[in-house]
Amino acid sequence: MAKLIVADDHPLFRNALIHAISTTFVTKATIETDSFEATCEALLQHPDTDLLLLDLHMPGNCGFLGLIQLRKQYPTLPIVVISASEDLDVIKRVMAFGASAFIPKSAHPAEIGKALSAVIDGELWVPPTLRNQVLHQQQHQPDLDLAGKVAELTPQQYKVLFYLTEGWLNKQIAYDLHISEATVKAHITAIFRKLGVTNRTQVVIQAQRLQLEPPADKTLVAH
């Protein structure tokens, strides 16, 4: 039996997922969280967690940043990403960033049970129809060393980094994040230092290698 944390901000889907798990997979405890912050707190309170089911786009989880940070902080914890997206490139990156499985939210309960059982047994799992494309094509995997550096950014710094890749000016970033331009410049300086670069062009080139996703709590609209 396994102790699970189910991290998803949609109560209806979270309940449906827990029900699907209970009918196909034996658990000793299931902890529910609805934000990335709450998930991190749950992991601290339950160090014996056997499996984390993580929604890729829950509040506080900036694109792939949450997965990268958790993988770095809990290197032995199996993390199963649950997402409504079934984009092949997203799935490849999720697995490359250290997830043990990718389960689309459209998956049948029996398939979810098979996936969790495989992960508990130490295997990697993706939908069978995508297995060859995802697990046997290594050439497009992102730079994991760079991902580790990005994981050191704060959520606010990640937002600034993403805006830089979109070509935004400091004043546009400041307006959207409701901070001063001086604060934006401070964030950019910190980003340069953590990524080991010296200018915006180098930042953009580095970030594009990871194909960063927009912050989960932002809909980007140019000003």
Which pLDDT tens digit goes with each residue over 197-215? 999 999 888 877 776 666 6
Phi–psi pair at 83, nearest 5 degrees: -150, 150
Task: Report the chain's terminal Cα–Cα distance, integer Å.
Answer: 52
pLDDT digits (tens, 9 = 90+) for 156-169: 898 899 899 888 99
Most confident of 83-87, 132-136, 196-200: 196-200
Q: Compute how many other C-beta atoms are within 10 angstroms of the C-beta atom of residue 57.
A: 19
Length of the chain: 223
CB 5 within 8 A of CB 40: no
pLDDT at 222: 41
Q: Which domains does the chain have, with CATH numbers?
A: 2-135 (3.40.50.2300), 144-210 (1.10.10.10)
Instruction: Flag whether pLDDT at 91 surpasses 60.
Output: yes
- Inform me whether the pLDDT recorded for 171 exceeds 90: yes
Q: How confident is the model at residue 217 (pLDDT cuts 50, 70, 90)?
A: low
Q: Which of 65, 47, 57, 73 is nearest to 8 (CA)?
A: 57
- Where are the strands (E) in the chain, listed by range? 2-7, 27-33, 51-55, 79-83, 101-104
pLDDT at 22 over 90: no
pLDDT confidence band for 39 (50 / 70 / 90): very high
Write out the DSSP string of 110-171: HHHHHHHHHHHTT--B--GGGHHHHHS--TT---HHHHHHHHTS-HHHHHHHHHHHTT--HH
pTM of the predicted model as reported, rounded to 2 decimal places: 0.75
Torsion, Cα of 145, 74, 102, 67 (10° steps) = -60
* Beta pairing, strands 101-104 & 27-33: unpaired
Q: Which tens digit of pLDDT belongs to each residue from 93-105? A: 888 888 999 999 8
pLDDT per position as a tens digit, 24-36: 778 888 999 999 8
Confidence at 221, pLDDT banded by 50, 70, 90 = very low
CA-CA distance, 66 to 89, in Å (whole number)? 18
Beta-bridged to residue 80, according to DSSP, are 53, 101
